[in-house]
Structure 1
Amino acid sequence: MRRLSSVFLAVLAAVGIFLVPASPAAAAEVNLGLSATASASYTSPWESVAAINDGIDPPSSNDTQNRRWGTWPNTGEQWALLTWTQAQTLTSAQIYFFDDGGGVRVPASWKLQRWTGSAYVDIPGTYALAVNAYNTVTFTAVSTTRLRVLLQSGSASVGLLEVKAIGEGGQQPSAWNPPANLVNPLNQVWQHVESTYPNLYGFRNYGWDQVMANRGSINYCVRWDSSAPVSAALRDQIHAALARQFKKWMDVMAGHNAWPYQSVPLKVVGWAVRDRATLQWSDNSVDVYVNDIRENAPQCAEPCGRFFNQSGNYPNCPGGASHHYDMSLWLTAGMGGGAGGDWGQRVGSEYYVNAINAENMHILLHEIGHSFGLDDFYDWTPTGVGGFLMKAGSASQITEFDAWMLRDWWRHLKSRYGY
Structure 2
Amino acid sequence: MRKVAVVIAALAVVLGTAGVAQAAPGQSDNLARSATATASYTSSWESVAAVNDGIDPSTSNDTVNRRWGTWPNTGEQWALLTWSSAQTLKSADVYFFDDNGGVRVPASWRLQYWTGSAYADVSGVSSYPVAVNQYNAVNFNQVSTTRLRVVLQSGAGSVGLLEVRAYASAIGTTTPPPSGWNPPSNLVQPLSEVWTHQEQTYNNLYGFRNYAWDQIFATGGSINYCVRWDSSASVTAAQRDKIQATLQRQFKKWVDVMVGHNGWPYATVPVKVVGWAVRDRAQLQWTDTSVDIYVNNIRENAPQCGEPCGRFFNQSGNYPNCPGGASHHYDMSLWLTSGFGGGAGGDWGQRIGSEYYVSNLDADNVHILLHEMGHSFGLDDFYDWTPTGQCCFIMKAGSATQITEFDKWMLRDWWRHLKNRWGY
TM-score (norm 1): 0.59
Which residue of 397, 401, 408 maps to 2:402?
397
Counterpart residue type for residue 286 of structure 1? V
Counterpart residue type for residue 404 of structure 1? W
Deviations 1:167-197 (A, max 9, x none): xxxxx98121000000000000000000000
1:214 is the counterpart of 2:187: no
Match of 1:305 in 2: 310
Which residue of 317, 322, 325 maps to 1:317?
322
1:352 is the counterpart of 2:351: no
How far apart are residue 385 of structure 1 and its match? 1.1
1:267 is the counterpart of 2:272: yes
Which residue of 317, 326, 331 maps to 2:331?
326
The within-5 A match list for 1:194-343 is 194-343=199-348
Counterpart residue type for residue 240 of structure 2? R
Match of 1:174 in 2: 179
Deviations 1:41-85 (A, max 9, x none): xxxxxxxxxxxxxxxxxxxxxxxxxxxxxxxxxxxxxxxxxxxxx
Q: Which runs of 5+ in 1 are unaligned?
A: 1-171
How many residues in Structure 1 have an aligned counterpart in Structure 2? 249
SS of equivalent to 1:268: strand
Gap change, CA 1:385 and 1:173, over 3 Å in 2: closer
SS of equivalent to 1:257: coil
How far apart are residue 293 of structure 1 and its match? 0.3
Whole-angstrom distance in 2 between the partners of 1:418 and 1:271: 35
Match of 2:161 in 1: none
1:388 is the counterpart of 2:393: yes
Whole-angstrom distance in 2 between the partners of 1:306 and 1:411: 24
Counterpart residue type for residue 295 of structure 1? E
Counterpart residue type for residue 405 of structure 1? M
Match of 2:411 in 1: 406
Whole-angstrom distance in 2 between the partners of 1:256 and 1:309: 30
How far apart are residue 384 of structure 1 and its match? 0.8
How far apart are residue 319 of structure 1 and its match? 1.3
Whole-angstrom distance in 2 between the partners of 1:173 and 1:255: 7
Match of 1:112 in 2: none
Deviations 1:175-231 (A, max 9, x none): 210000000000000000000001011000000000000111000000000010000
Is the CA contact 1:340–1:346 (under 8 Å) kept in the aligned structure 2?
yes
Whole-angstrom distance in 1 between the partners of 2:391 and 2:324: 47
SS of equivalent to 1:312: coil
Whole-angstrom distance in 2 between the partners of 1:284 and 1:175: 44
The within-5 A match list for 1:184-203 is 184-203=189-208
How far apart are residue 386 of structure 1 and its match? 1.2
Counterpart residue type for residue 414 of structure 1? K
Structure 1 stretches of 4+ with a deviation exceeding 3 A read none
TM-score (norm 2): 0.58
Counterpart residue type for residue 395 of structure 1? A
Whole-angstrom distance in 2 between the partners of 1:367 and 1:315: 30
The within-5 A match list for 1:369-380 is 369-380=374-385
Is the CA contact 1:173–1:258 (under 8 Å) kept in the aligned structure 2?
no
SS of equivalent to 1:336: coil
Whole-angstrom distance in 1 between the partners of 2:325 and 2:421: 27
The within-5 A match list for 1:4-15 is none
SS of equivalent to 2:412: helix
Counterpart residue type for residue 403 of structure 2? I
Counterpart residue type for residue 412 of structure 2? R
Counterpart residue type for residue 416 of structure 2? R
Deviations 1:297-324 (A, max 9, x none): 0000000000000000000001100000
Whole-angstrom distance in 2 between the partners of 1:256 and 1:321: 30
Deviations 1:388-410 (A, max 9, x none): 00000000000000000000000
Deviations 1:132-190 (A, max 9, x none): xxxxxxxxxxxxxxxxxxxxxxxxxxxxxxxxxxxxxxxx9812100000000000000
Look at both structures and tell me which one has the larger radius of gyration over its CA atoms: 1
Counterpart residue type for residue 402 of structure 1? D
Counterpart residue type for residue 276 of structure 1? R
Counterpart residue type for residue 237 of structure 2? A
RMSD value over aligned CA atoms?
A: 1.3
Higher relative contact order (CA 8 A, sep 6+): 2
Whole-angstrom distance in 2 between the partners of 1:338 and 1:175: 33
Is the CA contact 1:304–1:321 (under 8 Å) kept in the aligned structure 2?
yes
Whole-angstrom distance in 2 between the partners of 1:344 and 1:175: 29
Q: Which runs of 5+ in 2 are unaligned?
A: 1-176
Is the CA contact 1:314–1:320 (under 8 Å) kept in the aligned structure 2?
yes
Is the CA contact 1:222–1:271 (under 8 Å) kept in the aligned structure 2?
yes
Counterpart residue type for residue 391 of structure 2? G
